[in-house]
């Protein structure tokens, strides 16, 4: 079945460090791919998305590129801030299937 695998956390970095959170997926067909972020005590909110191969999603300095050949959608940011501390979820979605398939989440902590 369809599945998403994220790098295990927790991840701890210093402010201004480079961030990569790996995400790979297994799916039949070509899903849309998402990164959602969950700040402490809140629900999930969309960070960025890509709907087809080679699309790059970007938001708030974060980027991810839909790589069909490696079935990946790695999240990157060049210089993280303390305010980026949160749990990040990679997810895939098939139009018509009406559901998101989530990875297990990666907790990110940024120290000043």
Partner 1 sequence: NAGVTQTPKFQVLKTGQSMTLQCAQDMNHEYMSWYRQDPGMGLRLIHYSVGAGITDQGEVPNGYNVSRSTTEDFPLRLLSAAPSQTSVYFCASSYPTKRGGETQYFGPGTRLLVL
- CA gyration radius for the chain? 13
Spatial contact of 66 and 81, defined as CB atoms under 8 Å apart: no
Q: Which of 40, 65, 71, 39 minimizes the C-alpha distance to 50?
A: 65
Q: Which residues make beta-bridge pairs with 77?
A: 19, 62
Q: Report the residue from 13, 22, 27, 32 that binds partner 1 according to the rule CB under 8 A.
A: 32
Q: How many residues bind partner 1 (CB under 8 A)?
A: 24
Cis peptide before 49 (omega within 30 of 0): no
- Listed ranges 16-24, 30-38, 67-75, 78-86: which one lies at the site for partner 1 (CB under 8 A): 30-38
Closer of 8 and 16 to partner 1 (Cβ): 8
- Interface with partner 1, residue 46, by CB under 8 A: yes
Residue list 66-95, contact with partner 1 (CB under 8 A): 89, 91, 93, 95
- Interface with partner 1, residue 43, by CB under 8 A: yes
- Interface with partner 1, residue 45, by CB under 8 A: yes
């Amino acid at each position: 079945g369809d599945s998403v695998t994220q790098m295990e956390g927790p991840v701890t970095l210093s402010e201004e460090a480079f961030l990569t959170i790996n995400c790979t997926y297994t799916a039949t067909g070509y899903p849309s791919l998402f990164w959602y972020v969950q700040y402490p005590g809140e629900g999930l909110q969309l960070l960025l998305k890509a709907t087809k191969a080679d699309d790059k999603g970007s938001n708030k300095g974060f980027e991810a590129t839909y790589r069909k050949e490696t079935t990946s959608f790695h999240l990157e940011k060049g210089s993280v801030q303390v305010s980026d501390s949160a749990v990040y979820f990679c997810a895939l979605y098939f139009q018509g299937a009406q559901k998101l398939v989530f990875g297990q989440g990666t907790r990110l902590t940024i120290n000043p």
